[in-house]
Amino acid sequence: MSEPEIICERRGAAGLVTLNRPQALNAITHGMVLDLARALDAWEKDPAVTRIVVQGAGGKAFSAGGDIRALYEAGQGGRHGEALAFWRDEYHLNIRIKRYPKPYVSLIDGIVMGGGVGVSLHGSHRVAGDRYRFAMPEVAIGFFPDVGATYALPRLPGATGMYLALTGARVGPDDAGGLGLATHVVPSGAFPQVLGDLAAGGDVDAVLAAACRASEPGPIMRERAVIDACFSAESVPAILARLDEAAANGSDFARATAAEMRTKAPSSLAIAFEQVRRGRDLSFEEAMATEFRIVSRVVHEPDFYEGVRATIIDKDGAPRWSRTSIDEVDPDWVAAHFAALGPAELGVA
C-alpha cells in the first residue's frame, strides 16, 4: 500500500492535516485539494474539533507548490479542461480557508511556494519555523502569482508585494514576521510542543504567543527604502528604469534585482504587475475570480509550457519566451486576461 498524499485525522481538539508527498516536496495534487476540502467541511460541523493544524511531512518543505508537472502534461496533451478543473477546485479551497470559521494554524518549516502558499497564507495563524522559505516564483516559469496572491501581495507593507510578485524573491522567517506573511515566528525545535499543546486544546493564541520569538529585520526589510522607491513606479519598464538608476547610484541590491527581473518571462511580468495593481481594490472572492480569468487564458499560451520545460522537464535553464523584452508586451493583450469568462467564471463553490 502506498502512503496517502494527504493525511487528515483527529488529534485531540485538532483536525490535523499532513501534506504527505515528501519526495515531491509536498506539491499539491488535485486529489489533495479535494481531500482537504472534504475534511474542512466535516470538521466545521464537528464540535470536538476546535482548530485546524496543517503541517508538511519530511522536514524540507511545507509545500513547494502545485503539481506543475501534471498540469504541464495535461496542457501539452490538450486536456486544458482537466488542468482548469484543478485550478477551479484549488481556488475554491483558498476561499474556503480564508473564510473558515475555526482557527486555521499552518506550521511552516521549510519551503512554502505556490500552492503551498494557498493552503497556508489565508488561514488565521501562520507559524514560521527556522527553515521557513516563502516565495511566489511563478514569473520564472511563464505563469503568474496565483492562489490568492492577487489579494495578499498588494496588502503587504509599501511596495514589497509588487517586489515579491515581479522577482520571486525568497523570504526567510524574520522578513516573514516583519511583512506579516507569518503571524508568529517560532523556533523549529518548539514545533512538536506547539502541536501537542494545540491538540490538547490549549488556547490557540496563548500557545503560539508562548512559543513565539521576536523577529529581526531581514534582508528585505533592510532594503525597504529601495524597494518602495522602485516598485511603486507606474509600470514594469518604469520599475526597471528606477532600479537601473538606483544601481548607477551604488545600490548592489537594485543591480541584482534588475538583472534577476530581466530573466523572467516578460508576459508574466506584465500580467503580475497588473494583477497586483488591481488587487488592492478587490475582495478576496473577486481576487480569486480574477485569477481564474487569468489562468483560463494562460493555460492556452506558450510561455507557461516553455517555462516548465526549461525549469522542470529538460532543466536546461534556458527558456525561449514568446517576447524577448517587456517592451514587446501589448497592454491590450494583458487587459484581455482580466476580461470576464461568462458562464465559465469561477463562481461560488
Q: What is the DSSP string of 99-149?
A: T-SS-EEEEE-SEEETHHHHTTTTSSEEEE-TT-EEE--GGGGT----TTH
Query: Pick the catalytic residue: 56, 65, 115, 172?
Result: 115
**Per-residue b or e along 317-342, where b marks 16 or more CB atoms closer than 10 Å to that residue's CB:** eebebebeebeebeeeebeebeeeee
For 100-159, the pLDDT digits (tens) are 999 999 999 999 999 999 999 999 999 999 999 999 999 999 999 999 999 999 999 999
Asked if 109 is an active-site residue, the reply is no
* Known catalytic residue at 138: yes
pLDDT digits (tens, 9 = 90+) for 241-261: 999 999 999 999 999 999 999
Rounded mean pLDDT, 171-187: 98
* From 56, 66, 129, 161, the catalytic residue: 66
How far apart (Å, rounded) are the C-alpha atoms in residues 24 and 113?
13
3: annotated active-site residue: no
Residue with cell 518549516: 109
| Residue 348 reports pLDDT greater than 90 | no
Is residue 66 annotated as a catalytic residue, yes or no? yes
Measured CA to CA, the distance from residue 216 to residue 306 in angstroms comes to 39
- Sequence spans of domains, the chain: 6-344
Give me the pLDDT at residue 1, please. 62
Query: Could you say which of 5, 67, 109, 146 is catalytic?
Result: 146
Distance CA 184, CA 84 (A): 34
What is the tens place of the pLDDT at every residue in 92-103? 999 999 999 999
Q: Which of 138, 175, 291, 306 is catalytic?
A: 138
CA angle 227, 228, 233 (to 5 degrees): 100
Q: How confident is the model at residue 2 (pLDDT cuts 50, 70, 90)?
A: confident
What is the structure's pLDDT at 215?
Answer: 83
- For helices 236-248 and 160-167, angle between their N-to-C axes, nearest 10 degrees: 100
Alpha-carbon torsion (96, 98, 101, 107), positive or negative: positive
CATH code of the domain made up of 6-344: 3.90.226.10
Provide the grid cell at 251. Answer: 545600490
Q: What is the pLDDT of residues 228-237, one digit of tens each?
A: 999 999 999 9
The rounded distance, in Å, linking the Cα atoms of 295 and 268 is 11
DSSP string, 58-84: SSSEEE--B-HHHHHHHHHTT-HHHHH
At residue 156, φ and ψ (nearest 5 deg) are -80, 160
